[in-house]
Amino acid sequence: MTHKVSLSLLKLADYRNYAAVTLTLDPRHVVLTGQNGAGKTNLMEAVSFLSPGRGLRRAVLADIARVGAPGGFSIFAELEGMEGGVEIGTGTEGGDDGQIRRLRINATQAKSVDELTDHLRVLWLTPSMDGLFTGPSSDRRRFLDRLVLSLDPAHGRRASDFERAMRSRNKLIGEGRFDPSWLTGLERQMASLGVAMALARQEMLGLLGGLIAQGHGDPAFPSATLSLDGFLDGALHQPAIDLEDIYVGMLQDGRYRDAAAGRTLDGPHRADLMVRHREKDMDAGRCSTGEQKALLVGLILAHARLVANMTGHAPILLLDEIAAHLDAGRRAALFDRIDAIGGQTFMTGTDRSMFEALGERAQFITVTDGHLSV
Ligand SMILES: Nc1ncnc2c1ncn2[C@@H]1O[C@H](COP(=O)(O)OP(=O)(O)O)[C@@H](O)[C@H]1O
Ligand SMILES: [Mg+2]
């Protein structure tokens, strides 16, 4: 039995093009419609800030406060979360250049943004992800790590600790300081973090692949075959301790090469997520734009199902401009799939008629130039 996490109140102040708005919601899905530039994506972005990180636009915090508002921005939300009712307040204040994100949960200062994941998980799909399969591997890695993060909140800390150790190593070898005890210490640290990252990615892909295989044959959304490439290829079935030794060896052997390259050439920061269209047996990057979109939607839906299964709570899903690329049959199938996942889903579009098949399953909100109306 999956429990529903749902937002009942969202209040924004000086948030992008919103001076001040209050949105009261029931647990049904939320459809936001309005013209280009009205503020639909901004509203979804505000919801995405109820999870750790930089939100669905990967924004610089200082860009979010409404132009002309010197006091920072604020987001306040009330929701039925994974541990019951909870109030979350986040935002910036004037004074520190708007760079520091404050977070209060039930009116108490949170120690870390990771605390948000005790209450809800937020997943999203936005038009900027449309080029995921053909774009740079760094985008796919980030996508992959977000998938892992929504199941395993410790993944983000591992990745940033790995980055820090790697930067220290790059600095040492870049300065020609091949002090073996220093370097070996850093490389051991990189190995334990890097292998943990690779294994967490591998485990998540295994679980996701299993779920996708169960849904195999869904005519609306093709299924993807997922694999990792570029780091410890073909070795990830081995025990972590052996993998760490392998990676430490690679780092030691690569010191002079990496010094010449100015960066570390082996590691989890070089891995790539490989996606294939299962039914066509073709690389996702070679599929048509429409097929790629359908693959991506299928992937996000499967992931939402995985998060629901693993945590017992359906995540909040943000599907920006989702109707645009889908025909009526696929839209209807999408609505049925999100219902089956059991969470509250936010969707945007320019035209309300695109969402007609939702009927009473959704509440409809019109967004006009930073204002909301029902
Ligand atoms: N910090 C900001 N202050 C004021 N307006 C902003 C800020 N950031 C973005 N905007 C404006 O918000 C508007 C709405 O954007 P968006 O939510 O992406 O629209 P859409 O409804 O098409 O999704 C844009 O016109 C943009 O210029
Ligand atoms: Mg938009």
| Residue matched to tokens 């915090």 | 61
Phi and psi at 23, nearest 5°, equal -120, 120
Q: Which domain holds residue 202?
A: 134-286
Give a yes or no: residue 74 inside a domain. yes
Give a yes or no: residue 227 inside a domain. yes
Looking at ligand 1, which residue's alpha carbon is closest to its atom 24? 37
What string of DSSP letters covers 8-44?
EEEEEEEETTEEEEEEE--SSEEEEE--TTSSHHHHH
The answer on 280 and 146 residing in a single domain is yes
CA 341 to ligand 1 center in whole angstroms: 30
What is the per-residue pLDDT for 71? 86
The answer on 153 and 265 residing in a single domain is yes
The answer on 256 and 129 residing in a single domain is no
H or E element in which residue 5 lies: none
37 CB under 6 A from ligand 1? yes
The helix/strand/coil state of 202 is: helix
The answer on 167 and 105 residing in a single domain is no
CA 36 to ligand 1 center in whole angstroms: 9
Give a yes or no: residue 301 inside a domain. no
The answer on 165 and 99 residing in a single domain is no
What tokens were used for 92?
């910036």
Give a yes or no: residue 249 inside a domain. yes
The answer on 163 and 129 residing in a single domain is no
List Cβ neighbours of 47 (8 Å cut-off, separation of 6 or more).
7, 10, 77, 122, 316, 318, 346
Looking at ligand 1, which residue's alpha carbon is closest to its atom 13? 37
Ligand 1: which atom is nearest the Cα of residue 69?
3
Please name the amino acid found at residue 259: A
CA 324 to ligand 2 center in whole angstroms: 11
The answer on 209 and 353 residing in a single domain is no
Q: At what angle do helices 328-341 and 289-311 cross, to 10 degrees?
A: 10
Give a yes or no: residue 19 inside a domain. yes
* CA distances from residue 333 to 89, 207, 221, 340, 352 in whole angstroms, order as listed: 35, 23, 9, 11, 17
Looking at ligand 1, which residue's alpha carbon is closest to its atom 2? 16
C-alpha gyration radius of the chain:
22
Ligand 1: which atom is nearest the Cα of residue 42?
17
Give a yes or no: residue 305 inside a domain. no
Q: What is the CATH classification number for the domain harbouring 200?
A: 1.20.1050.90
Cβ(90)–Cβ(109) below 8 Å:
no
Q: What is the CATH classification number for the domain harbouring 345?
A: 3.40.50.300
pLDDT tens digit at each of 374 positions of the chain: 789 999 999 999 999 999 999 999 999 999 999 999 999 999 999 999 999 999 999 999 989 999 988 889 999 999 999 999 999 999 998 776 778 899 999 999 999 999 999 999 999 999 999 999 999 999 999 999 999 999 998 999 999 999 999 999 999 999 999 989 999 999 999 999 999 999 999 999 999 999 998 876 677 889 999 999 999 999 999 999 999 999 999 999 999 999 999 999 999 999 999 999 999 999 999 999 989 999 999 999 999 999 999 999 999 999 999 988 788 999 999 999 999 999 999 999 999 999 999 999 999 999 999 999 98
The helix/strand/coil state of 172 is: helix
The helix/strand/coil state of 86 is: strand
Q: What is the pTM of this model?
A: 0.95
Give a yes or no: residue 304 inside a domain. no
The answer on 150 and 93 residing in a single domain is no
The answer on 357 and 334 residing in a single domain is yes
Ligand nearest to the CA of 42: 1
Domain total in the chain: 2
The answer on 71 and 108 residing in a single domain is yes
38 CB under 6 A from ligand 1? yes
Of 186, 178, 188, 227, nearest to 206 by C-alpha is 227
The answer on 251 and 200 residing in a single domain is yes
What is the per-residue pLDDT for 128? 93
The answer on 270 and 184 residing in a single domain is yes
Cβ(297)–Cβ(188) below 8 Å:
no
